[in-house]
Amino acid sequence: MNEKNKNYNQQAEIIRLARKIAKEQIAPQASESDRKGTFPWEAIRAIGKVELPALVFSEKEGGLGEGRAIFTSVVQELAKACASTALIYISHVVLAKAIEISGNDGLKKKWLPDLSKCKALGAVAVHEPDAGSNAGAISTQAIKDGDSYIVNGSKFFITSGGEANAYLTLVRTDPEKGLNGMSTLLVEKGTPGLSFGQAEEKMGLRSTSSREMFFKDCRIPAENLIGDEGGGLQVIGKSLIGWGFYGASAISIGIAKAALDKATQHARERTIAGQPIGIHQGVQFLLSDMILGSETADAYLTACASEADAVPGTVALNGFKAKLYASEMAIEVTNKAIQLMGGHGYCQNNIVERLFRDARGLTLHFKTSEWLRQDIAKAALKI
């Protein structure tokens, strides 16, 4: 067997494994977890048991060295079952990739083995009340004090807030240097002075434990600096933008595919006057639009991810474009699924209702659609 076939077989097996876990261990508890707003620890443990986070770690760090194309395929499978679980997984991978790419040997040795098995859970803390999606406008400060940093400030809408063990935290270490005065620290749960607000009662993605974080004279060891001091935006670019945006795109596509599956099943099985509703042209039009939307977004994400794996200079812009296209597509597809299913799709005991709510959140997470449009246009205009 040549190397190409060997890699293909490995990748196919990874996707089959993710699909099996999603169907058997994640999907059965997704609706209840959404309804109650409970954190899906059982799902996270199932992911960790087979070390799905390690599939994107380098072989040097004990991983499989897979790229974004396979990563996004795995995320899609998880998102079909539970978008909240998929988002928690992405945030976890972003923290792990930041350590792998930019962390010192001590951080790698301490965290990567447990992160690969989800024995420790990672999260990302960038957004702030007065900054929103603009990472360059954050105000949380970290002042060097001997062999530590003293951190003060706050973050909000933190996925896995209060549940995760480690947070990739963007801070200002030198306010006088503007964007070059920002750094990333690994902040551990339980650090004195670190506290969390109540979980947000969100419309969708309700199982993610989205909370505020508060830092009051938190002393963070200097060895928890990830990357160089002043290089925080570079670390965020390589981890959150480099992996998180692709993962978010994949969640949207997974949501759309799940909605399409349910709508197709409904069109086959729902009968009126003794005939399945799928025989009607209006229903067929809705299904066709849903198929084209989900398949086009999937193909586009695969192309963007594959190019990003091969050409590092395309990572950011491709991630922005893929996320914008996929997230807005998912809203359209889930909306059409509800329309096709009529009152059945509008009921809370129907998965399509949850999928619509979850899809809506993906145009807001990490970076809003408006920010993405601006970034994409600026790249085209070279301004």
The CATH number corresponding to 3-121 among 1.10.540.10, 1.10.3720.10, 3.40.50.150, 1.10.620.20 equals: 1.10.540.10
Class of domain 124-231: mainly beta
Q: What are phi and psi of 227, to 5 degrees?
A: 80, -165
How deeply is 53 buried, as exposed, middle or buried, from its count of CB atoms within 10 A (0-12, 13-18, 19+)? buried
Per domain, the residue ranges of the chain are: 3-121, 124-231, 233-381
pLDDT at 26: 97
pLDDT at 5: 66
Q: Does residue 84 contact residue 35 with C-beta atoms inside 8 Å? A: no
The pTM (predicted TM-score) of the whole model is 0.95
Question: How many Å apart are CA 351 and CA 349, to the nearest integer?
Answer: 7
pLDDT at 3: 59
Is the dihedral angle over the CA atoms 58, 61, 63, 64 positive or is it negative? positive
Class of domain 233-381: mainly alpha
pLDDT at 6: 60
Mean pLDDT, 10 residues at a time, the chain of 383 residues: 67 95 97 96 97 94 94 98 98 98 97 97 95 86 97 97 98 94 97 97 97 98 97 96 97 98 96 94 97 98 97 96 98 97 91 97 94 96 93
C-alpha pair distances (Å), 110 with each of 3, 100, 106, 107: 33, 11, 6, 5
Is the dihedral angle over the CA atoms 372, 126, 205, 265 positive or is it negative? positive
